[in-house]
Amino acid sequence: TAAAILRRQRVRESAARTYARSFPIVPVRASGMTVEGADGRRYLDCLSGAGTLALGHNHPVVLAAIRRTLDSGAPLHLLDLATAEKDDFTTALLESLPAPFAKGARVHFCGPAGTDAVEAALKLMQTATGRRGALAFTGAYHGMTAGALAVTGNVAVKQPLPSGGEVTRLPYPYAYRCPFGVGGEAGERLAAVYTERLLDDPAGGVLPPAAMIVEVVQGEGGAVPAPDAWLREQRRITAERGIPLIVDEVQTGVGRTGAMWAVEHSGIVPDAMVLSKAIGGSLPLAVVVYREEYDSWQPGAHTGTFRGNTLAMAAGAATLRHVAADGLVARAEQVGHRLLTELTALKGRLPVIGDVRGRGLMLGVELVDPTGVADAVGSYPPDPALAVRVREACLARGLIVELGGRHDAVLRLLPPLTITDEQAGAVLERLAEAIAAAGS
């Protein structure tokens, strides 16, 4: 039974390896946005493998690409030999990227996870510039290996850079809890000015860094979108000072934010992009794509046994093409807009909702204690305990949502781009009920 499986798993998987969360579900089948548990209950999945499943679970286009590859007799593992699948994936990827960035860009396959691509990008830029440090942002999340941890904002996990370089953390333009205490656009402008002043201050303590790494919308940080103007400023400031800009699109990529790639919103051209999650069409795949001028590695400088997997390349190429061809990017923007509008209306009715934000289908609902003391910007204390209760109330209503944000008080919505209007309606209804029930 499901209960027995859950019990066995808890015993067999050491506590050290489990996630902090636990969902009392044993999924046996999944299709699109729906996950079916062993108990026969069906859930709408607003987690989508932390944004991995752009096309939802088991999309026919993805399954067909995997089956075709399996049936073709193509070698499934070949280290770095050229294959038709790799060529096809790389072509699909470069075609999907903004032209000014893709032109002449190099694609480097990394270990299977997003964090591997982050390591590769940081190391590449250290090689290219001969510098060691990095600029990163408060609230950032880039992965769990050593270099990625060094640029992650969370003090519970962060570590020094393995290169010995220093990481300078800059304020991310998180308007609801504005680092400058003024909120809104004024706060965002200040955040941009801060970067420039700090770098230009000879007593600011910042050595010329090897790179700046940034998320266009912070995912784990609580679905916080950076304003386009702010991002353009970071690009200008880094370009003027010869600092390579790495954009981490592990979570924002493949249509998630209502653009194929989130950098398209601002039109900035980064020096490197770190990609994983959805690019593998639900199988593990990660790459760093970088501009030709940073091609500083000698052959063998960054290798690994599992650099790219044939099945993931086939599933990924099919996903990239289907997202582009099926109008799903526009769809993400349209459904995202509806969700954002209706959640904002809900905020007006439920005072425990402090903030509603996001871009496309990467949305966050920050839960607060409205009886607490508001800060200078009018934001109330975060309420992580309420967030846990809401997540449980959602599950009881057949809705899977995950928590995130600085204080684990943000409900994060990452539905597949294939979400129907009816499913979006059901998400809103169940979420509203769950918040009302848990918050009263």
Please report, as ranges, the residues that interact with ligand PMP according to CB under 6 A: 50, 113-115, 118, 141-143, 215, 219-220, 248, 250-251, 276
Say what angle helices 60-72 and 310-325 make with each other, to 10 degrees.
140
CA distance 223 to 362: 6
Between 35 and 118, name the residue whose CB sits nearer to ligand PMP.
Answer: 118
Query: How are beta strands 224-225 and 217-218 bridged, if at all?
Result: antiparallel
Between 51 and 209, name the residue whose CB sits nearer to ligand PMP.
Answer: 51
Between 220 and 233, name the residue whose CB sits nearer to ligand PMP.
Answer: 220
Residue 253 · residue 270 · CB < 8 Å: no
Residue 418 · residue 32 · CB < 8 Å: yes
Between 152 and 379, name the residue whose CB sits nearer to ligand PMP.
Answer: 152
**C-beta nearest to ligand PMP: residue:** 114
Residue 412 · residue 363 · CB < 8 Å: yes
Q: How far is the CB of 204 from ligand PMP (least distance, A)?
A: 27
Q: How far is the CB of 193 from ligand PMP (least distance, A)?
A: 25
Q: Classify residue 334 by its DSSP letter.
A: H
Residue 256 · residue 51 · CB < 8 Å: yes
Residue 272 · residue 106 · CB < 8 Å: no
Q: Classify residue 354 by its DSSP letter.
A: E
Q: How far is the CB of 205 from ligand PMP (least distance, A)?
A: 27
Between 122 and 438, name the residue whose CB sits nearer to ligand PMP.
Answer: 122
Q: How far is the CB of 153 from ligand PMP (least distance, A)?
A: 11
Q: How far is the CB of 121 from ligand PMP (least distance, A)?
A: 11
Between 89 and 380, name the residue whose CB sits nearer to ligand PMP.
Answer: 89
Q: How far is the CB of 210 from ligand PMP (least distance, A)?
A: 18
Between 32 and 219, name the residue whose CB sits nearer to ligand PMP.
Answer: 219
Q: How far is the CB of 154 from ligand PMP (least distance, A)?
A: 12
Between 85 and 220, name the residue whose CB sits nearer to ligand PMP.
Answer: 220
Query: How are beta strands 211-214 and 134-137 bridged, if at all?
Result: parallel
The full DSSP string for 40-51 is S-EEEESSHHHH
Q: How far is the CB of 118 from ligand PMP (least distance, A)?
A: 6
Residue 204 Ramachandran class (φ > 0 left, ψ -120 to 50 alpha, else beta): alpha
Between 142 and 291, name the residue whose CB sits nearer to ligand PMP.
Answer: 142
Residue 260 · residue 101 · CB < 8 Å: no
Between 129 and 276, name the residue whose CB sits nearer to ligand PMP.
Answer: 276
CA distance 427 to 412: 12
CA distance 48 to 278: 10
Q: How far is the CB of 119 from ligand PMP (least distance, A)?
A: 10
Cβ–Cβ contacts within 10 Å for residue 354, how many?
23
- Nearest to residue 227, comparing CAs of 271, 169, 183, 167? 183
Between 114 and 227, name the residue whose CB sits nearer to ligand PMP.
Answer: 114
CA distance 323 to 325: 6
Q: How far is the CB of 142 from ligand PMP (least distance, A)?
A: 5
Q: How far is the CB of 115 from ligand PMP (least distance, A)?
A: 3
CA distance 14 to 11: 7
Residue 288 · residue 143 · CB < 8 Å: no
Report CA-CA distances (Å) from 432 to 31, 363, 382, 396, 420. 24, 15, 18, 13, 18
CA distance 97 to 123: 22
Residue 219 · residue 51 · CB < 8 Å: yes
